[in-house]
A and B are shown apart, each in its own frame.
Chain A
């Protein structure tokens, strides 16, 4: 063999090689490249150096060259663990985890106790949650480095993630026992007689052990562990919180109460302290579901009053009692609550009380109090029944609240009047313009809403939040280009807004942009936005790589576990949920109505249809353009630095439209929702829609059952069940016997043991949407009932006083398309226009 092994080099050059590795780790690529080139010049066939060189240029953006070098190095250095390790790192950074894993394992075979490779393997296994593999690797590390704390802690974490709390505790315990001299120095003092500085890492390890004991259900031991080690815990508040929570879990309410009284005293605005304290004092009262019986309510209020005497300034104390107080007790308390905050000028007051509007009795109280404030303050600058003169800004905040109140109750004009009055009174108060925008948005006048937000933004161009809101409203109004200019406001010059925002992870922007494109029929660009959101979640996920080693090194174990758990559910976040559901709907529409000229021909001559046609032909052109461009695709151009220049070859998202596997593509969005957003019924309803089109009966059934568990009365679910039943009736004969058995067992349960027709007739629709879906289902089981179904829908629409703009629009479209009845669609449009006279949709 004539290749040069690092081990066989002179010591000076070995050192040099290590410096190169070090430069790579610290991302000093230029320096590393210079040194590695020098080494290669000296030893031509030096495989390790050649592969290191590949890794460095790979990091610098020359990915292909990097791989070529690394693979070339392997040919001469097949038995070099470094070469395998390096190739693994490259695959890892390109998220090719399977290949990376193979390479690491090859490297380990050649160098079984190599700590660096073992550590990288652990990172990878944690990252892809190969927990059994992780456990095995951690055992190897521990066996070779039993003296290091991380070896033990790492193994404990692996067991924890596997749900084996007992073994995890044992592992930590074993470390502690080995580490005796250090762990008994509870009250050691340094030479000057001062207590030794608390060891943060030890403290964290102990708190972690308590967490393990708690999660493993070993509450008394967890408490004992806290008590024994109190002097070693550096965060005393965390110690108290944990101890209080454990005592409460154990049923020792008296002691827990003491602790939470103390904690609440330290922070009388902490919601958690207050609610936990109340659960200690009055568990029965807290657990009673609303509405409370009178004695419980009085008892609970007495508890609040007693505390309020001691903590008169506690916000949370004043607020939480409003949730369960009723009648006069509610009224007098909420009256004081509102007056105090109107007087202070709290712009978020309405947001704070909005949840109380779920209770009509409370709404009635608001509807009595708030207009009375405005009247009295306007007339005499005092609150009703008081003689104390308020300052001039107080009436302004009262009007502000009145506007939000009216808006909530759908009284657009009155809300706007209050705001216009306010603007005449104090035209410099920015909140008035944002509120005006919100009211107009709720009224469906998106262009005017955007103008209001622009006015607000212009009054304070240093306010990033306002600027963002402004962009959002512009998007709602379909002003996509303006919105990009708006967000650019907060970027440095020459930064590409959209890209930069993605870096800043402003997911709402992409989602809103996507919706705006979709609104205009530009499905390609819309999908592209939603994919960008998806990509950002990938990036968030990738970011944890750095944390795996960091958290272990710093011993921030509890937050590390939190992080891992968070990462596992990150796609359950509402930003992803919104983007994903939008994307799925687009895919469904795309599947049902492929973009072709035939679809355009069907459209009529109304203004709306003309718009649609325009959009369709635009997409078709994009599609053709993309197809024409495909075969002559140029290689990625490079800029001066040699990096692959990012050039957007698919700016209009044509590649998504061209796909011949739409129902596969859509799973990018369906799967994460099914995993992490199971609590939302939409997840399962949309999944059903996809499986329905893919003809997957068992998966359809599964989705429907999940949806039914969440809300059996859901309008869309009702129709979906009927669709499913009819599909089974039509295709059931072709199903495999095992499939048929399952379905025949489950279907009657879905249908409440009724026939589809009975099921449809038995449904009691309460909302307009429920009436619509029920009518659509009726049409499916009995096409002859069409005119009757239409009549039901139109009747319901004429009585629907609280239907949203969206619902009206859905109903109108359904009548025009599903029912093919333009006349009734027009009737509904008229009704909608009457209810939402400002809505631009029906202008």
Chain B
């Protein structure tokens, strides 16, 4: 081990960035979700992802795509639903989840008339996710017993954050 190497190690780049979902890179989203989530998303999900604008983003760590968030607005209920938000396991606790979530929350500010709250489902037992969302002011409003069909445990917490 040389000295230069030690010195450089502490100065890693660790660049966190967000990027768009496009028809060209949507396959990366598919591969990413398959690695993170136990449920498989439908073709329609990936068809629509590139049309979601700022509510669908990819997260990059040192130029590698390692995370993504996809949400949809539910206009009648005036709320935003986070369909997926996740990071590849080796890249957690680096701030990427926060970067994505904060981006989404900030986008909601531009839609204050149409979006009054943000909500999502977290599988029962997913303590990482619970801790993460609570940190950002989400609260569990109810717990559904039989939410997931093909995975165990089937229960899901509903987490909500009111924006105003």
- Identify the A interface with B (CB < 8 A): 332, 335-336, 339-340, 343-345, 382-386, 388-394, 396, 425-429, 458-462
Contact = CB atoms under 8 A, between A and B. Distances in A.
B63 interface: yes
B148 to A, nearest CB: 23
Given A336-B4, A388-B9, A427-B35, A345 B90 contact: no
B3 to A, nearest CB: 8
9 contacts: A336-B2, A340-B4, A345-B63, A385-B1, A386-B9, A388-B9, A427-B32, A428-B28, A459-B27
Interface string B1-43: 1101110111011100000001111011001101100000000
B6 A388 contact: yes
Contacts of B28: 428, 459-460
Contact of A426 (B1, B2, B6, B88): B88
Name which of B1, B12, B34 has the most chain A CB atoms within 10 A of its CB: B1
A382 B5 CA distance: 11
B90 A425 contact: yes
A394 B94 CA distance: 14
B31 A388 contact: no
Contacts of A344: 13
A345 B62 contact: yes
Contact of B64 (A332, A426, A461): A426
Interface in B116-157: none
B22 A462 contact: yes
B66 interface: yes
A339 B12 CA distance: 12
Contacts of A345: 62-64
A459 B27 CA distance: 5
B73 interface: no
Contacts, number: 88
Contact of A388 (B10, B14, B64): B10
B61 interface: yes
**DSSP majority for the B interface?**
mixed
A761 to B, nearest CB: 54
A461 B24 contact: yes
A340 B31 contact: no
Contacts of A383: 1, 5, 9
B82 interface: no
Contact of A392 (B5, B35, B63, B91): B91
B105 interface: no
Contacts of B94: 391-392
Contacts of B23: 461
B2 A332 contact: yes
A390 B10 CA distance: 8
Given A425-B90, A459-B27, A384 B1 contact: yes
B158 interface: no
A390 B61 CA distance: 13
Contacts of A384: 1
Nearest to A335: B2
Name which of B9, B24, B61, B66 has the most chain A CB atoms within 10 A of its CB: B9
B101 interface: no
A635 B63 CA distance: 58
A339 B64 contact: no
A459 B25 contact: yes
Given A426-B90, A460-B25, A391 B62 contact: yes
Nearest to B23: A461
B61 A393 contact: yes
B2 A462 contact: no
Nearest to A344: B13
Contacts of A459: 25, 27-28, 31
A335 B1 CA distance: 7
Contacts of A343: 5, 8-9, 12
Name which of B23, B27, B88, B94 has the most chain A CB atoms within 10 A of its CB: B27
Contacts of A335: 1-2, 5
B1 A428 contact: no
A458 B62 CA distance: 21
Contacts of B13: 344
A805 to B, nearest CB: 31
Contacts of B6: 386, 388
A460 B64 contact: no
B118 to A, nearest CB: 26
Given A336-B5, A339-B5, A426-B90, A462 B25 contact: yes
Given A386-B1, A461-B24, A461-B25, 6 more contacts: A340-B5, A384-B1, A427-B35, A428-B65, A428-B66, A459-B28
Contacts of B1: 335, 383-386
Contacts of B31: 427-428, 459
Contacts of B24: 460-462
A385 B64 CA distance: 27
